[in-house]
Each structure stands twice: as structure tokens, then as C-alpha cells.
Amino acid sequence: MTRPQFDQAFSLFPLSEIIQSAGSKRKVKRLLETFSCTRNMDLQEFLHDKAITFETNLRSRTYLYVDNTTYEVAAYFTITISTLHTENISPEVIKLLDGYKDDVASIPCFLIGQLGKSDIFKPQKIGEYILNDAIEIIDQSQESLGGRFILLDAINREQVIKFYEANAFFPIEKGTDLESIKMIKPYFSR
């Protein structure tokens, strides 16, 4: 699927705008419940049960791709500011990530907290476009504020790690027994 087709098929809306214009939370919840993701129930549950509260409490910002034909949520991402805790990271990597010190306990960063597409779009390769849109929005904040990297917790499956690696993220931890792997996209050059 090329980007123009993607743009014609879906419209991207900030959840904050939808909440403002919908008038009732029940209406927004009904829209959010059109999203299903059986491969990642955490992703589905966040959108169904937490996204509105996180949005109204300014914990994060969620962006929805709404299918222009069915008006269902086809995909979404949630982004925010965060901190990376460094307890299991080597001093060399801490220094690389912090840009100054090798012994700090936490480093500020941007976070892609949630990202994924609905079950019905499983055969369509749209992940790259969703990820690029999330990065583009974070880039605008990074330009004004600084910040050294974008963090995300990738599901510890080879194909998922490969997907993020193909999009300029790299893992900062290893472990076959981990459920998820922390990956970053640096703004600094390595």
C-alpha cells in the first residue's frame, strides 16, 4: 500500500479533538470500541478503557486513524514524554543515551506508549506509515525542546523487533525471557 492510498483510506484525528467535538464520552467510547487487536490485547484494552482518561488528564496524547468508509478505528498511537530508568543499563550505554554522564538513574525521553493497527488491517502493511506519523509529531516537540531519543517497548518477537529496526530503532536491552524489549530511535549520531 503506497502512502497516497493510505492517506485516502484513513483520516488521522487527535483524540483530544474528538473528545471536544463529540459532546459525550459515551459517544467517544463507542468509537474507540470499534478497534480490535487480538494479537495484542494490551493495545486494545488501553484504547477501550484508558485512553480517554489519559487524554483528559494530560498523561499522553492519542491519535486515531479512522477508516473513511466504515468510520471505525483502523489504527492508533499514543505518545508522551517519559523517563528511561537506567538500573539495568551499562555505564557506556548510559553515557551514550544521556549525552553527558554515565551514572544517572534516569534520562528524559519521548515515548511511543502504544502503536498498532486493528485486526481487519492485518494483511495491509501500514505499520511504517503509522510509526512515521508518530515520529513526525514527536520531531516537532524535539525541535523546540531538545531531547535525545524516542523510547518504546517492543513485543519480544523477532518480526516485531525487525519492523522497528527497519525504521531506525535499535534495542538497548537483550533477553529471550523478556516479554518486551526497550528500543530507541536516537536524535544524536552514534
Which residue's CB is nearer to ligand COA, number 39 or number 48? Answer: 39
**Alpha-carbon gap, residue 51 to 136, rounded angstroms:** 21
Alpha-carbon gap, residue 5 to 74, rounded angstroms = 14
The total of other beta-carbon atoms located within 10 Å of residue 118's CB is 21
Decide whether 96 or 154 has the Cβ nearer to ligand COA: 154
Cβ-closest position to ligand COA: 127
- Kindly state the smallest distance separating residue 185's Cβ from ligand COA, in Å: 13
| Burial classification of residue 176, based on how many CB atoms lie within 10 Å of its CB (0-12 exposed, 13-18 middle, 19 or more buried) | exposed
For 52, the 3-state DSSP assignment is: helix
Q: Does residue 61 contact residue 82 with C-beta atoms inside 8 Å?
A: no
Binding site for ligand COA (CB under 6 A): 37, 39-40, 43, 115-117, 125-128, 130, 154-155, 157, 159-160, 163
Of 23 and 123, CB closest to ligand COA: 123
Nearer to ligand COA, 89 or 183 (CB): 183
Instruction: Quote the cell numbers at residue 135.
Output: 515520529
C-beta of 131: minimal distance to ligand COA in Å? 7
d(CA 28, CA 166): 34
CB of 79 vs ligand COA, minimal distance in Å: 14
Cα dihedral across residues 101, 107, 111, 113: positive or negative: positive
When the beta carbons of 73 and 130 are compared against ligand COA, the nearer one is: 130
Minimum CB separation from ligand COA for residue 133, in Å? 12
**Assigned C-alpha cell, 144:** 523546540
Least distance (Å) between residue 32 CB and ligand COA: 16
